[in-house]
Chain A
Amino acid sequence: MATSMTSSDPVTDSGAARAEQLTKVYGSGDTRVVALDDVSVMFERSQFTAIMGPSGSGKSTLMHCMAGLDSSTEGRVFIGEVDLTQLDDKRLTRLRRDAVGFVFQSYNLLPMLTALENITLPLDIAGRKPDQEWLDTVIDTVGLRDRLGHRPSELSGGQQQRVACARALASRPQIVFADEPTGNLDSRSGAEVLGFLAQSVRGMGQTVVMVTHDPTAASYADRVLFLADGRVVDEMADPTGEKVLERMKRFDAAGRGV
């Protein structure tokens, strides 16, 4: 159903973000490692995509390159219509500030700021006034209304990660990247955060790309991309926990043969 939404909009032909023949190589000579090997992928607007794969498959690298945190060796990366590989640091920074939201495994909140200040931090840095209505929606969705004055040290892990999610969405970015957002959380807190991310896509029309190794987490997504050895080897629509787990197992056994 998510796909039908996007196809009705002519401007979204290029998607929220896409990679074209993206290659990323670390090191050279004997230590040369190809982390991404000619990857082309598109992330549709208002879709929740999970990227899965075994350790070293390049899933984190793909996300870092897509988000403008890491540079690509070859190929092109687009956020909307903007080619990231053509941007200098200044423009890249501005793009991250205005068009991209981040959620990290280890929350990464600033300890001296309150929850609300953390949420509005990217807007403050940009010197923009928050859209109060949108902000209220975000805050109510993450359910932090009564915790806004607290510092991170006074919040639980789940609450901190929900603050981080709210921060990623506060500036109404074109796309949100989440790197193992539930990696540090127990399953209940994890479920809350995932529920919130899914809600932001379905209720608020946001676009979310999430790297995870947890099939349960992946089941919240609309679509799952499987990576192995730096290549997209498979993808799955409307995933469930069991289907993903099954696929991972199969693909794991087969992956060794490739």
Chain B
Amino acid sequence: MLKATVRTLLTHKLRLALSGLAIVFGVAFVAGTLIFTDTLGKTFEDLFSQTSADVTVTERSNFDATFAGEGQPGRGVPQSVLEAVSAVPGARAAEGQITVEGVQVVGSDGEVVGTAGAPGLGVDWSDTPGLSPLTLLTGSPPQGEGEIAVDSVTAESAKLQVGDGVRVLTPGPTLDVTVVGIFRFGESGNIAGATLTAFERDTAQRVLLRPGFWTGVGLAAEADVSRQELARRVQAVLPDGFDAKTKEQQAEEDAGDIQQGLAFINIFLLVFAGIALFVGSFIILNTFSMLVAQRTRELALLRAIGASRRQVTRSVLLEALVLGIVGATLGLGFGVLLAVGLRALFAVFGLEVPTGALALAPRTVIASYAVGVLITVVAAYLPARRASRIPPVAALRDDVALPAASMRRRVVGGAALSAAGVALVAAGLAGAGAQPAALVGLGVMAVFIGVALLSPLVSRPVIRILGAPLRRSAVGRLSVENALRNPRRTAATASALMIGLALVSAMSVLGSSTTSSVDKLIDRSLGGDFVVSNSTQMGFSAQVAADVRDVPGVAAVGEQRFAVAEVAGGQQFVTAVSPEVLDEALAVEFVAGSGAGLNTGSDGGLLVAEQVATDKGWKVGDTVDVTFLTGAPQRLRIGGVFVRNDFLGTHVISLTTLTANGGSNRDNFVYVALENGADAAAVGSALDAKVAAFPNVELKDQTEFKDEQRNQINQLLSLIYALLVLAVIIAVLGIVNTLALSVIERTREIGLLRAVGMSRRQLRRMIRRESVVISLFGALLGLTLGIAFGIALQRVLAAEGIDVLSIPVPSLIVFLLLAGLIGVLAALWPARRAARLDVLRAVTTE
């Protein structure tokens, strides 16, 4: 008897542990995300605070760019400014500095060293203490045009040594140089995945910017002058259009962009943590409901001997509290591991993060416990309240059913929640309110809960249909009947899986629609024969376009660059193009004006998309105020209105206008059109030979370009799927839990089935099939919802260019099959337990 009691207690622990796992997973995700992004943030803050001089002078930014885009060198700080500030009293030293993006070292394998997406920086050589973060480790400082120094991390990963010859890509020409020095950056040498290439000053100016200009001027303060004071004095002598910033201001500004990026990563990961916790709460709710149901007699006995309803509620909630605290603690611990894991993952992708201490902020601890405990207790509240309503007389009766909320209330509540959710999603997608994304999230959650409430209604017919093929055998019939006997439990179990699959399939529909839309877009908008670009759309040397132009058989080469500007007071993503882009490379149709309109007006022309012209009421010939990141405001004249073309964007200026305003000197896209009758294959290989000299770009024909786009979409989808797997795992735990509890509840039945001749194998099969039926039911609900969400998203995003709806039927079928497999896996352990029950003990159990 004692043995049985201990065993029951153990199984009780086990089921609590299973539902606790859901909490552990969710909390670990939350904690891991916070720790990881905090650590990254701190790393970058430290990094930047040690890189800047006491005071830095730069060209003034007209606005903070919200599109973290291309490094725009601006027009630079002239030598005259350097001379003026050098004379400011209190300045111990002043030095012109150059930092330019788009300088990359080509490794021995012919590929660019460093991570795709991480910047390659070109700098001038300086190791002046207090002004430069560089320290020479071996070799000598670079001299003249043929020498460079590289940072130690880059040297190590490219296996470069002093004296090695190496090829360097710059925004201008490609250089074949010799590595003469290797230096350390800052204190630790870590520059978070970027590569640093240093040139002698004159060379740096000539190759990376232009002679007589710097990207900034750094000043070191005298010991008795504060940074603020020095900055004020420097500002006083600066001509208009330049700013002096203290070390702190500069670090904050530099880190700002990164922080923004981190905040995005943070939210992105937390969304998945939220999904995991949301799914987890379903499982906790279900587990406590079942535990309360099984303990009905025990609780009724408590009531009969005088426990108040509140005491009963409290005892159940207390259990939840303990589970929540234990779960949150474990989750926090796993969160630390997860943060380490994420760091390793980022390192694999080349974004090295220094192995400093993990930043465990008090906020992380508080958030973990709050989330873990709150969700567990909230999820246990309903079952606890139901437990308190067990009448004392239930203790004396043999079979008692728990008082359950009426089906009608459930239907009304479920329908209301679903409707409210749909309305919220619609409002959010339409962009209502300050936080449309939050509205969508809230709406989706409401729909999930609503559908979960309603799902017992459909569970009967759906499971009957799903189970029809199983009914031919007695065992299959029992499986289906078992899945049907408690529709609420089945529905709650299936709902957890529904959520995961709904999200997966919605993403799948969206991804497939995006791919189809992009394919169509490329067909429709791209007139040229070849495109030169890279998958991260990072800028590359204009030399590529120049080289390609010389290839025989090439009719025209168009260049396109990205920029940010304030157009009529609002920040806009702007593309700058050479005339060939409009004439030859893209299929552009003008409603009014023409491509020649790029060069009208004294400041230059502006072409806008039809939609923009309609919204703003602009006509050809109107002038519009445009302010670039640096420089004086411009008045551009509308030279043309074109039919939407997604390669062009909505606002187009000429390359000349961009350059005149200090915009990027690197191309983001180069389009190549061939002469009529040219042999595409022959010219293609000639082009390939030219482009091969620039390993940071690829030459693609239309098909290859489509493949590249599709690959990018698929990569993002894979990442999202990988993160959603967590939610699915939690759902699987839920199924395991439900089945295990069902096996315990039905011990006597199982004993009987075994007694009257059911074999262990048949018993296992019975439980496995029940599991599969429940899984498929959840999957069907999820797929239905997911397809609906996916269609809604596509409809809304149609205006953004995703105008083709494509339902990826094969993928969805695969999801359904996987759900069946999940059912099989989830049943493994409960089925084994059931099969191992002692027949006699089971059949005579109370």
> Given contacts A64-B840, A69-B843, A127-B473, are A122 and B756 in contact (CB under 8 A)?
yes
Residue B395 interfacial (CB < 8 Å): no
A108 proximity list for chain B (CB < 8 A): 748-749, 751-752, 843
Q: Mark B191-232, 1 if CB is under 8 A from A, else 0.
A: 000000000000000000000000000000000000000000
Q: B474, A110: Cβ atoms under 8 Å?
A: no
Looking at chain A, what size class is its interface with the partner chain?
20 to 34
Q: B758, A93: Cβ atoms under 8 Å?
A: yes
Q: Distance in Å from the Cβ of B744 to the closest Cβ of chain A?
A: 16
Residue A145 interfacial (CB < 8 Å): no
Q: B752, A96: Cβ atoms under 8 Å?
A: no
Q: Distance in Å from the Cβ of B10 to the closest Cβ of chain A?
A: 21
**A104, B751: Cα distance in complex, Å:** 11
> Given B475, B482, B757, which contacts A122 in the complex, CB threshold below 8 Å?
B757
Q: Distance in Å from the Cβ of B657 to the closest Cβ of chain A?
A: 77
Q: Distance in Å from the Cβ of B524 to the closest Cβ of chain A?
A: 59
| Beta-carbon nearest neighbor of B480 in chain A | A112
B711 proximity list for chain A (CB < 8 A): none
Q: A121, B756: Cβ atoms under 8 Å?
A: yes
A113 proximity list for chain B (CB < 8 A): 478, 481
Q: Distance in Å from the Cβ of B488 to the closest Cβ of chain A?
A: 15
> Given B482, B484, B757, B843, which contacts A104 in the complex, CB threshold below 8 Å?
B843
Q: Mark A84-127, 1 if CB is under 8 A from B, else 0.
A: 00000110011011100010101010111100000001101111
| Beta-carbon nearest neighbor of A123 in chain B | B474
Q: Mark B56-79, 1 if CB is under 8 A from A, else 0.
A: 000000000000000000000000
> Given contacts A69-B839, A69-B843, are A110 and B760 in contact (CB under 8 A)?
no
Q: B759, A93: Cβ atoms under 8 Å?
A: yes
B843 proximity list for chain A (CB < 8 A): 69, 104, 108
Q: B757, A98: Cβ atoms under 8 Å?
A: yes
Residue A231 interfacial (CB < 8 Å): no
A89 proximity list for chain B (CB < 8 A): 760
| Beta-carbon nearest neighbor of B759 in chain A | A93
A90 proximity list for chain B (CB < 8 A): 759-760
Residue B755 interfacial (CB < 8 Å): yes
Residue B762 interfacial (CB < 8 Å): yes
**A127, B839: Cα distance in complex, Å:** 21
B473 proximity list for chain A (CB < 8 A): 124, 127
Q: Which residues of A contact B (CB under 8 A)?
A: 64, 69-70, 89-90, 93-94, 96-98, 102, 104, 106, 108, 110-113, 121-122, 124-127, 167
Q: For residues 740 through 757 of chain B, which have their beta carbon under 8 Å from a beta carbon of chain A?
A: 748-749, 751-757
Listed A/B pairs (6) with beta-carbon separation below 8 Å: A69-B840, A96-B755, A96-B756, A108-B748, A108-B749, A125-B762
Q: B484, A112: Cβ atoms under 8 Å?
A: yes
Closest 4 interchain pairs by CB?
A97-B757, A124-B474, A112-B481, A122-B756
**A147, B478: Cα distance in complex, Å:** 21
Q: A112, B758: Cβ atoms under 8 Å?
A: no
Q: Distance in Å from the Cβ of B616 to the closest Cβ of chain A?
A: 68
A108-B843, A113-B478 known; 7 other A-B pairs, CB under 8 Å?
Answer: A93-B758, A97-B756, A106-B748, A108-B751, A113-B481, A122-B756, A125-B762
B755 proximity list for chain A (CB < 8 A): 69, 96, 102
Q: For residues 814 through 846 of chain B, which have their beta carbon under 8 Å from a beta carbon of chain A?
A: 839-840, 843-844
| Beta-carbon nearest neighbor of A124 in chain B | B474
Residue B460 interfacial (CB < 8 Å): no
**A115, B322: Cα distance in complex, Å:** 45
A93 proximity list for chain B (CB < 8 A): 754, 757-760
| Beta-carbon nearest neighbor of B762 in chain A | A125
Q: A110, B478: Cβ atoms under 8 Å?
A: yes
Residue B477 interfacial (CB < 8 Å): yes
**A69, B751: Cα distance in complex, Å:** 10
Q: A110, B749: Cβ atoms under 8 Å?
A: yes
Residue B485 interfacial (CB < 8 Å): yes
> Given B485, B751, B758, B840, which contacts A125 in the complex, CB threshold below 8 Å?
B758
Q: A94, B749: Cβ atoms under 8 Å?
A: no
A122 proximity list for chain B (CB < 8 A): 756-757
**A89, B482: Cα distance in complex, Å:** 25
Q: A121, B760: Cβ atoms under 8 Å?
A: no
**A247, B842: Cα distance in complex, Å:** 34
| Beta-carbon nearest neighbor of A179 in chain B | B844
**A97, B482: Cα distance in complex, Å:** 21
A102 proximity list for chain B (CB < 8 A): 752, 755-756
